[in-house]
């Protein structure tokens, strides 16, 4: 935060809608502009340093400028960046994914999580010959037309009305709401974030994911896990390994690209073989399987395999989550290295619970943290993430910042929830 960021934001608002290239990046009074990142820290253009818990919204599980990733990318640049011709690198990363992710017998690489979820829905419809997809209120599956729906209907103008008929919305952690819809409608698939990561962090309740598996088995629908956040964060095999529930298909992204644009959809060979050119379900892209992304992803996965980084990263997250809980006295949900503090009372296990939060109080806390050298995603409805680069020194700075920020905001309001 500072004069240069403020000036750049004024300029950005003239050039980019809202001054940013993705809505969540804009916050009041102005977002800081980045200069560089290294390990667990980032520095803005005004010279302020922050411990980073946003980590580009999840991909950077090894932190900024992870040496193995930087070396792999530098080396690839010497060989060329893009060919539109198959390379062995795609096979290397696909082999890692099929080795670790339980449902992944085959992989199609695309360029973003959004692209992965848009493609997988076509595949599910083609495979089952049915059109309805059941999703959950509060889950996010990318910015395309198919899934931008909540209980109250479309989340954006411009979404064709006809799509509404085929996208059915149930409540997360509520199997009864799923059964009700499944009884009345022929479903091609049930699509779910196994841990809701786009309304804060909301874990599945005991038996919820297995319940979805059973409903899918009974009604002949495919179960699709959107593991764009969770794969290689909860475990090498993602949420499906962590919770021991295997879907038919899954979408991946973020971490598997080591910080470069990526998405993938994976699943049982019998289904994946419908994808063109093996089958008739069309999917294509100039940048799919991008060599630089492949080597960055491969370096990330190899580092995670060698270093027990997932375990350390999760342990670090637990310490920060405990500090938030202790200082603020508010509910904190944590699964492995993703977590969020909720400015509300009581447990948060549904989208309705999360929406009751005092978002303004969260943003006051966020601003106070920033002033004290800690950056988390600027929304009550995102997650904090930790990386293998976060160390004790970061924890000390964070603990102190949380204590000061907590003091500051609760001094301003007598109530903890605003």
Ligand X SMILES: Cc1ncc(COP(=O)(O)O)c(C=O)c1O
198 is a contact residue toward ligand X (CB under 6 A): yes
Tell me if 13 sits within 8 A of 382, measured CB to CB: no
225 is a contact residue toward ligand X (CB under 6 A): no
113 is a contact residue toward ligand X (CB under 6 A): yes
**Residue of the chain from 228, 320, 354, 361 that contacts ligand X (CB under 6 A):** 228
CB contact burial 16-54 (16+ within 10 A = b; e otherwise): eeebeeeeebbbeebbbbeeebebbbbebbbebebbbbb
260 is a contact residue toward ligand X (CB under 6 A): no
Write the binding mask 374 to 413 for ligand X: x where contact by CB under 6 A, - elsewhere: ----------------------------------------
> In whole angstroms, how close is the CB of 116 to ligand X at the nearest point?
7
**Residue of the chain from 5, 40, 114, 386 that contacts ligand X (CB under 6 A):** 114
Q: What are phi and psi of 132, to 5 degrees?
A: -80, 135
197 is a contact residue toward ligand X (CB under 6 A): yes
Verify whether residue 140 is a known catalytic residue: yes
Tokens coding 124 = 């599910």
> In whole angstroms, how close is the CB of 130 to ligand X at the nearest point?
22
Nearer to ligand X, 231 or 397 (CB): 231
174 is a contact residue toward ligand X (CB under 6 A): no
Q: Helix 359-371 to helix 392-412 angle, to the nearest 10 degrees? A: 130
Q: What are phi and psi of 108, to 5 degrees?
A: -120, 120
Nearest to 99 by CA among 231, 209, 217: 231
**Residue of the chain from 263, 297, 331, 378 that contacts ligand X (CB under 6 A):** 263
Q: Which one of 52, 137, 140, 353 is the catalytic residue?
A: 140
Tokens coding 185 = 């409608």
264 is a contact residue toward ligand X (CB under 6 A): no
Write the binding mask 141 to 160 for ligand X: x where contact by CB under 6 A, - elsewhere: xx------------------
**Residue 126 contacts by C-beta under 8 Å, 6 or more apart in sequence?**
274, 280, 281
Nearer to ligand X, 64 or 141 (CB): 141
The span from the CA of 370 to the CA of 48, in Å, is: 9
Q: What are phi and psi of 38, to 5 degrees?
A: -150, 125
Verify whether residue 155 is a known catalytic residue: no
Quickly count: other Cβ atoms within 10 Å of residue 207's Cβ: 12
Q: Which residues bind ligand X (CB under 6 A)?
A: 57, 112-114, 117, 140-142, 193, 197-198, 226, 228-229, 253, 263
The residues annotated with a catalytic role in the active site are: 140, 226, 254
């Amino acid at each position: 935060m500072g004069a240069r960021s403020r000036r750049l934001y004024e300029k950005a608002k003239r050039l980019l809608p809202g001054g940013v290239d993705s809505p969540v990046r804009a916050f009041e009074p102005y977002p800081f502009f980045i200069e560089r990142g290294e390990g667990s820290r980032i520095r803005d253009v005004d010279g302020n340093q922050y411990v980073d818990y946003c980590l580009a919204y999840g991909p950077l599980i090894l932190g900024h400028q992870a040496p193995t990733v930087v070396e792999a990318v530098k080396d690839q640049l010497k060989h060329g960046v893009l060919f539109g011709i198959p390379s062995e690198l795609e096979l290397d990363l696909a082999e890692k994914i099929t080795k670790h992710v339980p449902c992944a017998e085959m992989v199609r690489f695309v360029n973003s999580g959004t692209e992965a979820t848009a493609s997988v829905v076509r595949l599910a419809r083609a495979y089952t010959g049915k059109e309805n997809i059941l999703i959950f209120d509060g889950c996010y599956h990318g910015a395309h037309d198919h899934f931008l729906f909540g209980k109250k209907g479309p989340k954006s103008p411009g979404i064709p009305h006809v799509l509404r008929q085929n996208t059915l919305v149930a409540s997360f952690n509520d199997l009864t709401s799923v059964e009700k819809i499944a009884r009345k409608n022929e479903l091609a698939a049930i699509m779910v974030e196994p841990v809701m990561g786009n309304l804060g962090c909301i874990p599945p309740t005991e038996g919820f994911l297995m319940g979805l598996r059973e409903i899918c088995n009974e009604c002949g629908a495919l179960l699709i896990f959107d593991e764009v956040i969770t794969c290689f964060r909860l475990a090498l095999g993602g949420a499906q390994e962590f919770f021991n529930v295997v879907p038919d298909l899954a979408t991946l992204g973020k971490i598997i690209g080591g910080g470069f644009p990526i998405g993938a959809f994976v699943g049982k060979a019998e289904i994946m073989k419908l994808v063109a050119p093996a089958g008739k379900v069309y999917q294509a892209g100039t940048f799919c399987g991008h060599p630089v992304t492949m080597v960055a992803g491969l370096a990330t996965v190899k580092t995670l395999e060698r270093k027990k980084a997932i375990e350390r990263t999760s342990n670090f997250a637990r310490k920060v989550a405990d500090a938030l809980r202790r200082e603020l006295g508010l509910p904190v949900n944590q699964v492995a290295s993703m977590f969020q503090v909720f400015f509300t009372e009581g447990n948060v296990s549904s989208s309705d619970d999360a929406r009751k939060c005092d978002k303004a109080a969260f943003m006051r806390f966020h601003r106070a943290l920033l002033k004290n050298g800690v950056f988390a995603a600027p929304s009550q409805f995102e997650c904090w993430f930790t990386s293998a680069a976060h160390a004790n020194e970061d924890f000390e700075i964070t603990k102190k910042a949380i204590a000061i920020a907590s003091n500051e905001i609760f001094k301003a309001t007598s109530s903890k929830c605003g």
